[in-house]
Chains A and B, each alone.
Chain A
């Protein structure tokens, strides 16, 4: 679907991408990782036809620079930093839907699933939304249309756990028909979402590996965490994940989205000395419920 052929990009004396060769097919869910300045954003901008570059970038055989509309109508893009657009939410949805020949109602529905009522914020300038609300709306615009390639830069960074779970479900619905390119500084943030990892370092591809694709994107894990003693800092941290404690604050129960398990364990690791036990079970009911809802 996507081919990078000896793609190089230079800003004055600095070569940011060096002869990058990559092929990406439908069904590939790629974590594009690397430190700051590795070339991730530049690669994405070349793919979107926003940067000129040496070599060739092809999406279904078309150059995104010279066939912008054909190529970009297939691409849903979620930037890392939401643009400071002053136009109201309703206007932004109409604008994007109109350019993409999409149904704005579908975008509103996706926003609603993510927990953002587009109707409630219809007249509110986009720039006045909170970070999480902006992220939800941009995801809704990207996923609420027939995109075949999803390009996302730290897409779930500002989302609450429930919205993250819905976001993973939305990705699961697209995983067979689309390719996904998810850029992140940290592999553990996106590891369970993807089936391929590409690491960039100083403009070179230093790792291109397939990874085990065992985590169901729409799965949920029912968790119970026991502590040796109650701790306020832990209570605050785990409450953000929607966990409920017993009266004492020693036992905490909640649900974690399947692809979020590594991130959740990362949070728990900060309180390792307090932990008396962790139980995690696949939540069959939730998975079945999702499957039924999809059906």
Chain B
């Protein structure tokens, strides 16, 4: 266990000095600054105002960029480290493969989640300083959703990194995965599928299986659960699950999916050539 935390810490130290982390932090920090700069906290749309409105916009933008950022940075750095000989050297030290792999995931999770979370906390601190009411429930809920999303795509990224032997292939595969999930969002492909008379069960199954769609529905349903905004499949799902049920599903499913992908990646990693 000590080796696991040691490796997680080493990965955090490595990431803190990596260029990807600087870009990543600047993007999410910059997003919040931009939202404030454009006066979003002061605007009122669909009944939401102040920090709620800002957090909602932030989380919608996060849905678009967090998965691709997590996927690309994970596969780039993990597959890149393998190519550059980092694995060859560090895996010549007496560390178990489980401590190495899961330590790396934990360290990486801290690094992909913290900037997103800290940007949100920054927004709250700013809001409090300006006397705006803080929507604590929304903040906790969105934090949990972002954690689940980050963990899910980290797991997928680790699986891709294990499968692909070069960083180019890994990046290509990561992009295809992200694009596929994006296309299967409710308002894009699912809308077309319904229009083409696909069986509703298949459409709903796809919507429930797509972690980006799950995140989208979960983040939006609190402030407007109308068909026009959610999309048809999400509307039906929400109707069946109920709000509380869907919140539980939206938090548990991505975590399970990410863990399953990471575990599959670990099994492959353990059985294959390491460097």
Contacts and interface: CB of A to CB of B under 8 A. Distances in A.
Contacts of A86: 13-14, 17-18
Interface stretch (A77-85, A208-216, A249-257): A77-85
Interface in A70-101: 70-73, 75, 77, 79, 81-88, 91, 95-96, 98-100
B93 interface: yes
Contacts of B96: 68-69
B6 A51 contact: no
Interface stretch (B38-46, B84-92, B181-189): B84-92
B222 interface: no
B94 A83 contact: no
A50 B274 CA distance: 5
A45 interface: yes
Given A50-B274, A69-B95, A79-B88, 14 more contacts: A45-B273, A48-B91, A52-B272, A68-B94, A68-B95, A72-B94, A79-B89, A79-B92, A83-B88, A85-B86, A86-B17, A87-B17, A98-B6, A138-B89
Interface residues of B, number: 28
Contacts of B88: 45, 50, 79, 83
Contact of A48 (B3, B17, B92): B92
Interface of A: 45, 48, 50-52, 68-73, 75, 77, 79, 81-88, 91, 95-96, 98-100, 125, 138, 151
Interface string B88-113: 11111111110000000000000000
Nearest to A85: B86
Nearest to A52: B273
Contacts of B13: 86-88, 91
15 contacts: A48-B91, A52-B273, A68-B95, A72-B94, A77-B89, A79-B92, A82-B89, A83-B84, A83-B88, A85-B90, A86-B17, A91-B13, A99-B94, A99-B95, A100-B94
Contact of B85 (A51, A81, A91, A100): A81
A99 B17 contact: no
A37 to B, nearest CB: 17
Given A48-B92, A50-B275, A52-B271, A68 B6 contact: no
A239 B17 CA distance: 38
Nearest to A100: B94
A203 B252 CA distance: 50
Interface in B248-275: 271-275
Max count, chain B CB within 10 A of own CB: residue among A68, A75, A98, A151? A68
